Amino acid sequence: MAFKLTDYEAYDFANRRHIGPSPQEMADMLKVIGYKTLDELIDATVPESIRQKEALDWGRALSERDALHHMREVADKNTVLTSLIGQGYYGTATPAPILRNILENPAWYTAYTPYQPEISQGRLEALLNYQTMVSDLTGLDIANASLLDESTAAAEAMTMAKRSAKSKSNTFFVDENCHPQNIAVIKTRAKPLGIEVVVGSPDTLEASAVFGAIFQYPGTYGHVRDFTAEMDALHAHKALGVVIADPLALALLKSPGEMGADIAVGSTQRFGVPMGFGGPHAAYMATRDAFKRAMPGRIIGVSVDAQGNQAYRLALQTREQHIRREKANSNVCTAQALLAVMASMYAVYHGPDGIKAIAQTVHRRAARLANGLEEHGFAVEPKVFFDTITVEVGALQRTVMQAAVAEGINLRKVGDTKVGISVDEMTRFDTIEAVWRAFGIDRKATRDQAYRLPDAHLRTSEYLTHPTFQRNRAEAEMTRYMRRLADRDLALDRAMIPLGSCTMKLNATIEMIPVTWSEFADLHPFVPKDQATGYYEMISDLSEKLCVITGYDAISMQPNSGAQGEYAGLMTIRNYHESRGDMDRSVCLIPTSAHGTNPATAQMVGYKVVPVKADDDGNIDVEDFRAKAEKHADKLAACMITYPSTHGVFEETVQEVCDITHEFGGQVYIDGANMNAMVGLSRPGDIGGDVSHLNLHKTFCIPHGGGGPGMGPIGVKSHLTPHLPGHPEHDDAVGPVSAAPFGSPSILPVSWAYVLLMGGDGLTQATKVAILNANYIAKRLNDAYPILYTSTKGLVAHECILDTRPLNDAGGITVDDVAKRLVDSGFHAPTMSWPVAGTLMVEPTESEPKAELDRFIDAMLSIRAEAQAVIDGKMDAENNPLKHAPHTVRDLVGDWERPYSREEACFPPGALGVDKYWPPVNRVDNAYGDRNLVCTCPSMDEYEDE
Ligand SMILES: Cc1ncc(COP(=O)(O)O)c(C=O)c1O
């Protein structure tokens, strides 16, 4: 008998894999909310005035197999040669255990920024290792983890020096031997702040005339110079010295700290992180103890938990932008955590001996290469070098470079008569021979002694002395170490992470697969364009789709985080005003509810932040907005708004706010962090935005990596297109905001795969289900925790704010208590105390099935019941499961003098039985850690259980 054909589509990625709830579950949830159909709910939620007119459409969604096939074809259009271009990017061998157990492991890549330390001890330890590694190698007291790329780190060092130096000068000196992209980003950042940049040879440094100076070590053309004299001169004039240092070179060379440097920055890319056509890689910053409070970025510190056991957490600047806003040290929020973890594991894997051996091999091969060239009559510079040489070839430059390409090797074009060559960990004898052949030399590489580093430059101090860098050399031990740390953390592979404004949605495995393909991973960012055809095709297709989604005319892929997108967007606006002779426009209106990065960024482009009030319903107070726009009419540069608002509501007045801004000559920046509520339903470009950033690490599925990587491309209207960031490697007139022309392009396959797999319909459906899931949670929890802001119809957008303040008022139960008790149920807390202190902002996303939402709701209701018991006096105000949360496995043994059982403590509703998540520490004491600041690995006797 012929079977009856099923209408089930097995390969419908959008509806079967990405979107969590099944059709039946959706129907059940709609019933709870009180709507018959999803479209009815959406019509009631999203104001008609802002709905987009046409459906998203770019043809059929691809199945997983077809998408991979298509991406493989495009990837194959990239040509992977051996790039010896250097200039900050080098070949490196990612150790296989790190590739598989970190980069390809969702336990690491789907984790969130470690704001909740109790569920983040694993990545906090890995990042502390990173800081210890950086601090050791640079010879400085304290390091952060991490910054976005070397160029922005160099620019951050400049502004940090400005904040910290006692010199009154307004001039910053930049060594002409810095990588060109570093000089360019420093210039971009300096201009709006009125800092004068002088570029020159270190020999011309006038220390009395500057507040700081920055030097590259080794220099971009290979020079190794000891900057001790420069540092002394700077200090004599109350100025600060910064060194951009290659961490591999520091394994052999005297450290910046030993030269007297105040700040060191650099990239840890060559510690096992593929070049990826420019990123992502972790940049580092280290400084002296005296300047630790001025340092930007995240710092991991050591503290204790409620039982006095050692515990890690983010130190000092945990929520710096939200607290200090335009006075914050920087706008860096999402950084490069996953890549910092990889680099730290590379150091753990190789240890100090291994790192030294790699550095020595690199140097000896570079020296051997130089010997061969010199013996055949070529003039090689410099005389003292680590891994990079520059060869004078006169009129033969093109010929040599082309011959090298024919050998499968990219060299660097230096001026019109030289070529640069940088040797790296991957350089083999046959690579050296091939380079010689490109110079017309037929010669065999031999194991002769070759050495170009005089003793005076050599490092005598030790590094990576901590046992962590000694004891994990055997792969068995290393694998277990990575596993142990991963098991301590709660990431998306175990539970929903309902973080408002952070959109922790599914990072599908299929989307991650192409990221590690050699054709995407192993391209140097400055290869000739014809070797990156696949990249250009992907970037252009993704950009086109993002234009359709946002209603903008052009996209810049350069910003490598949301906050970087804000910076790029405001700079674009600034350049636009200036191009029209509108030099005085410098006021930026920002609602008080805005994310902290908004005011922090506005300050970085030299704008004066004028806050705008919110009304009682959390909406922008339009009257206040108009009054302030009018008051600053001649000076109004921009407004920065978030849509839907950070209160999780589609404000119906958004177009009016945009119109007012335009009426007074300003430009509208719409923060796109909440695009997950809009894709397919509404477009920022249609409702009045001139520019927006998109957090591809939120809406477009790039995993959060424990605090990065991210991508924050900006979309702009056509009048702003000429003012988008450019790049020196592309000979653009406008300065860059990031080190690489396309920011962190090797993670773009994730977002590209997502839009290919979802299609326009799938993306729109995802948005609708995100709104459904949020309204379901809001409806079910509203009686227990009042929903703070809703629309006139009582609905929320894609997230909702639960008010826990009444529990504090009535029973002293704080938002912290609620958040930590959720850990006992196996959940990551929602966003805490932002945008409103004492509340929790919940964003479930479309990816969570109903069962997971219900598990979360059960946990929240049980917490509410426990709080009620405290309020009613049935439970002690201090000795209760909320105040003692979270509970660890140690609480199951030993003394127990509490008025609740161990079972109630450890297995509240929501907690899974045998699969329960056990936090490794009890509640972490943040204040203790800040009072007793320790930001490197503690001594071994303080480690327990290991
Ligand atoms: C509303 C909003 N704007 C901007 C940002 C900054 O984005 P990023 O962390 O990628 O720098 C965030 C990040 O959480 C955000 O929620």
Q: Is the pLDDT of residue 385 over 90?
A: yes
Q: Is the pLDDT of residue 479 over 60?
A: yes
- Cα(694) to ligand 1 centroid in Å equals 9
- Cα(546) to ligand 1 centroid in Å equals 18
Name the pLDDT band for 943 (thresholds 50, 70, 90). low
Cβ burial of 53 (10 Å; 0-12, 13-18, 19+) is exposed
853: which 2 tokens? 């939402």
Which tens digit of pLDDT belongs to each residue from 897-914? 999 999 999 999 999 999
Q: How many angstroms separate the CA atoms of 143 and 826, rounded?
A: 32
Helix axes 597-604 and 562-579, enclosed angle (nearest 10)? 40
To test the pocket of ligand 1, the residue of 325, 331, 501 to mutate (highest count of ligand atoms within 8 Å of its CB) is 501
In 3D, which of 727, 260, 301 has the Cα closest to residue 525? 727
To test the pocket of ligand 1, the residue of 334, 502, 570, 699 to mutate (highest count of ligand atoms within 8 Å of its CB) is 334
Nearest-CA residue for ligand 1 atom 7 is 562
Cβ burial of 930 (10 Å; 0-12, 13-18, 19+) is middle
Residue 941's pLDDT is 63
91 Cα distance to chain centroid: 22
Q: Cβ(712) to ligand 1 under 6 A?
A: yes
Average pLDDT of the residues in 368-394: 98
- Cα(595) to ligand 1 centroid in Å equals 7
- Cα(769) to ligand 1 centroid in Å equals 22
To test the pocket of ligand 1, the residue of 156, 595, 670, 697 to mutate (highest count of ligand atoms within 8 Å of its CB) is 595
Candidate from 508-517, 612-621, 812-821 with smallest mean pLDDT = 612-621
Q: How many angstroms separate the CA atoms of 288 and 291, rounded?
A: 6
Residue 932's pLDDT is 82
In 3D, which of 512, 778, 550, 832 has the Cα closest to residue 674? 550
- Tell me the residue type at 185: V
Residue 940's pLDDT is 64
- Cα(120) to ligand 1 centroid in Å equals 20
Name the pLDDT band for 1 (thresholds 50, 70, 90). low
Kindly report the number of other CB atoms within 10 A of residue 470's CB atom: 13
Residue 463's pLDDT is 98
Tell me which of 3.40.50.2300, 3.40.50.300, 3.40.640.10, 2.40.30.10 is the CATH number of domain 13-81+518-912.
Answer: 3.40.640.10
643: which 2 tokens? 């849509």
Q: How many angstroms separate the CA atoms of 185 and 742, rounded?
A: 14
Q: How many angstroms separate the CA atoms of 552 and 669, rounded?
A: 12
Residue 324's pLDDT is 82
Residue with tokens 């694998």: 479
Query: Is 414 in contact with 380 (CB distance < 8 Å)?
Result: no
Q: Is the pLDDT of residue 772 over 80?
A: yes
- 659: three-class secondary structure by DSSP: helix
Which tens digit of pLDDT belongs to each residue from 524-554? 999 999 999 999 999 999 999 999 999 999 9
- Tell me the residue type at 277: F
Q: Cβ(595) to ligand 1 under 6 A?
A: yes
**Nearest atom within ligand 1 for CA of residue 671:** 3
Which tens digit of pLDDT belongs to each residue from 203-244? 999 999 999 999 999 999 999 999 999 999 999 999 999 999
896: which 2 tokens? 């127990």
Q: Quick one: which H or E segment has residue 7?
A: none
Q: Is the pLDDT of residue 328 over 90?
A: no
Query: Is 286 in contact with 134 (CB distance < 8 Å)?
Result: yes
- Cα(564) to ligand 1 centroid in Å equals 9
Which tens digit of pLDDT belongs to each residue from 550-604? 999 999 999 999 999 999 999 999 999 999 999 999 999 999 989 999 999 999 9
- Cα(562) to ligand 1 centroid in Å equals 5
Residue 946's pLDDT is 40
Higher pLDDT, 176 or 834: 176
Nearest-CA residue for ligand 1 atom 9 is 334
- What φ, ψ does residue 885 adopt, rounded to 5°? -70, 150
Residue 318's pLDDT is 56
Q: Is the pLDDT of residue 359 over 80?
A: yes
**Nearest atom within ligand 1 for CA of residue 332:** 11
Q: Cβ(738) to ligand 1 under 6 A?
A: no
Residue 450's pLDDT is 82
β-sheet with 924-925: strand ranges across:
310-315, 299-305, 924-925
> How many Cα atoms occupy the beta-carbon half-sphere of 223 within 13 Å?
15
Mean pLDDT of the chain: 96
To test the pocket of ligand 1, the residue of 695, 744, 845 to mutate (highest count of ligand atoms within 8 Å of its CB) is 695
607: which 2 tokens? 């704008």
Q: Are strands 412-414 and 283-287 parallel, antiparallel or unpaired?
A: unpaired
Name the pLDDT band for 643 (thresholds 50, 70, 90). very high
Per the DSSP assignment, residues forming a β-bridge with 197 are 172
- Cα(501) to ligand 1 centroid in Å equals 8
Residue 472's pLDDT is 76
Q: Cβ(501) to ligand 1 under 6 A?
A: yes
198 Cα distance to chain centroid: 30
The model scores a pTM over 0.95: yes
- What φ, ψ does residue 778 adopt, rounded to 5°? -60, -45
**Nearest atom within ligand 1 for CA of residue 565:** 11
Q: Cβ(110) to ligand 1 under 6 A?
A: no
Q: How many angstroms separate the CA atoms of 420 and 139, rounded?
A: 29
- Cα(733) to ligand 1 centroid in Å equals 28
Helix and strand numbers, DSSP H then E, in the chain: 29, 26
Residue 471's pLDDT is 83
In 3D, which of 487, 314, 304 has the Cα closest to residue 889? 487
Q: Cβ(593) to ligand 1 under 6 A?
A: no
Domain positions in the chain are: 13-81+518-912
Q: Cβ(184) to ligand 1 under 6 A?
A: no
Average pLDDT of the residues in 625-636: 98
- Cα(699) to ligand 1 centroid in Å equals 12
Higher pLDDT, 937 or 799: 799
In 3D, which of 873, 872, 894, 870 has the Cα closest to residue 821? 870
Percent of the chain with pLDDT over 70: 99
Round to the nearest angstrom and report the end-to-end CA distance of the chain.
64
Residue 853's pLDDT is 98
16 Cα distance to chain centroid: 29
- In the DSSP assignment, the letter for residue 672 is G
Q: Cβ(560) to ligand 1 under 6 A?
A: no
- Cα(135) to ligand 1 centroid in Å equals 28
- 248: three-class secondary structure by DSSP: coil
Name the pLDDT band for 59 (thresholds 50, 70, 90). confident
To test the pocket of ligand 1, the residue of 146, 330, 333, 751 to mutate (highest count of ligand atoms within 8 Å of its CB) is 333
- What φ, ψ does residue 298 adopt, rounded to 5°? -90, 140
Name the pLDDT band for 317 (thresholds 50, 70, 90). low
Nearest-CA residue for ligand 1 atom 16 is 501
Residue 798's pLDDT is 97
Nearest-CA residue for ligand 1 atom 5 is 562
- Cα(563) to ligand 1 centroid in Å equals 6
DSSP letters, 93-117, are ---HHHIIIIIT-HHHHTPPPSSSG
Residue 343's pLDDT is 98
Q: Is the pLDDT of residue 342 over 60?
A: yes
Q: How many angstroms separate the CA atoms of 440 and 469, rounded?
A: 44
In 3D, which of 119, 184, 173, 176 has the Cα closest to residue 151? 184
Higher pLDDT, 283 or 326: 283
> How many Cα atoms occupy the beta-carbon half-sphere of 432 within 13 Å?
27
Q: Is the pLDDT of residue 817 over 60?
A: yes
Q: How many angstroms separate the CA atoms of 585 and 65, rounded?
A: 52
- Whether the ω angle into residue 886 lies within 30 degrees of 0, i.e. cis, is yes
**Nearest atom within ligand 1 for CA of residue 334:** 9
- What φ, ψ does residue 427 adopt, rounded to 5°? -70, 125
Query: Is 809 in contact with 803 (CB distance < 8 Å)?
Result: no
Q: How many angstroms separate the CA atoms of 431 and 444, rounded?
A: 11
Which tens digit of pLDDT belongs to each residue from 731-747? 889 999 999 999 999 99
Kindly report the number of other CB atoms within 10 A of residue 147's CB atom: 30
Average pLDDT of the residues in 825-852: 96
Q: Cβ(673) to ligand 1 under 6 A?
A: yes
Which tens digit of pLDDT belongs to each residue from 681-723? 999 999 999 999 999 999 999 999 999 999 999 999 999 999 9
Residue 444's pLDDT is 95
Q: Cβ(495) to ligand 1 under 6 A?
A: no
Q: Cβ(550) to ligand 1 under 6 A?
A: no
**Nearest atom within ligand 1 for CA of residue 697:** 10
